[in-house]
Each structure stands twice: as C-alpha cells, then as structure tokens.
Amino acid sequence: MRAPALILGVLAFGAGVMGLIESGRGDAQAVPARRGGPVLVELYQSQGCSSCPPANANVNALADRPDVVALSFGVTYWDYLGWRDSFATPQFTQRQWDYSRYNRLGNVATPQVWINGTKTIVGNSRSELDASIRTARSDGPPLAIANGKASVGAGRAPAGGADVWIANYDPRTVQVPIRAGENGGRTLPHRNIVRRLVRIGHWDGRAISFALPPAAPGLATAIFLQAGRGGPVLAVTKAS
C-alpha cells in the first residue's frame, strides 16, 4: 500500500498495547545454501495496512534461518486510518525514507522489504523473497557479538567508512489483536520486531570493538554495518 503524498510526513504519537505472546516458533523453510555471510532482511509494515499480512508471514518464516537476520520495522504513516501500530516509531518511518531517498525512489510504501539495503521487493511472494536472499552479496568484514561487545574485523571500507548499528528485537511470536482500521477484527502474528535501533560507532576498515548498551530482558541483539543513511549493508550478524 503506497502512502499518499499528503500524509508522508505524518508521525505517530506512541505505541499501543502489545498483544498476547506465543512461545512457539514457526518452522523455517529449507533453501539452498548461499555463499558469504548472513543477509539482512528488513520488513517495513504497519498493523493498519491490509496488504501487509502476507509479507509479514513470509518474513516471520525466516526468523530462525542462520543465513538471515530478519527484522520487522513498524511505520507510522497509516496510523491515521484508525489503528495506531503498537510497535511503530517515527525513527523507523525515517529509516524507510532514508532508503527511498538514497535510492531516488521518491516515495515509501507498505509492505516493503529491503535486502542488504540494496534491493527492494514487496515481500508478498515467498519465492521472490528466497531468490532475492540467495543472490544477495554479503562480503563485508567479519562481525561478532560476545562478552558484551560488538566486534568488527579488518577489511576494505567504502569511501567514508560505515556506521555500526545495533538492533534489539523481540524474537518471540507476538499475537497482536487489531481492533480497528483496515485489519480490524484480525489477530496478526509478528516476529523479530525491532524495539530499539542505535548507532554505536563508525568503522574505517580497521578492526574495532564497541561496548553494547544493555538490552531489555527478552530482547535479542543484531549488529550490522551500513554505508551511510539508506546505503548498502556490508555485513550483519546476530547473537547466537
């Protein structure tokens, strides 16, 4: 669902109430192995968007794959339709816009999936999603999370280096009952919902480590290298 021009800059006013939590996880589908490191798959979606559930389900199914770091970002610009997304923040809306502007797309839409920050698809086709992951390049420096630190190995940095980001996300399946808006009356499962996204440093090609800020209980951690706002993702990993 494409955001109309008159509401592209709308910001949400706060998160709603989180739904019930399931302890179970969906089974990951087996796909052919790919070369290189893990792939960062970012879903931009809204609980108020009737087109989002299929893409949401496809990205949920990737959550346990070791070759993928799948993250779900809630955006705010459909909140005016009658349901405020309970996980959306203006920061995540801005991140989607950063991709759009960097790649000169001119607009944002939901659902939208970015693969390593370089390729975008709608995400409603599982075969297209799997194919995009298989062909994604992940040849950046090695990353590691251990002993409260994020470590970046030495490697060839792009001009201007790359930012080091930490994402804290909820790895559980969260069932969210939607009581209004386009999805009113449905209960939608969410996984790997990003709850905090923080830039923790910069990488210039030399090996470096950063202390990780404490995460809230129950949240998992991923780190990734990104060449500027909306730029390509060079490498990603998640805590085991």
pLDDT of 54-104, one tens digit each? 999 999 999 999 999 999 999 999 999 999 999 999 999 999 999 999 999
Q: Which residues contact 126 (CB under 8 A, 6 or more apart)?
A: 29, 58, 61
Report how far residue 218's alpha carbon sits from residue 55's, in angstroms, rounded to the nearest whole number.
25
Residue 202: pLDDT over 60 = yes
Preceding omega of 217 cis (within 30 degrees of 0): no
Provide the residue ranges of all domains of the chain, joining segments of one domain with +. Answer: 37-238
Confidence of residue 12 (pLDDT cuts 50, 70, 90): very low
Predicted model pTM: 0.87
C-alpha triplet 43, 46, 50: angle, nearest 5°:
110
SS3 237: strand
- In tens, the pLDDT along 108-130 reads 999 999 999 999 999 999 999 99
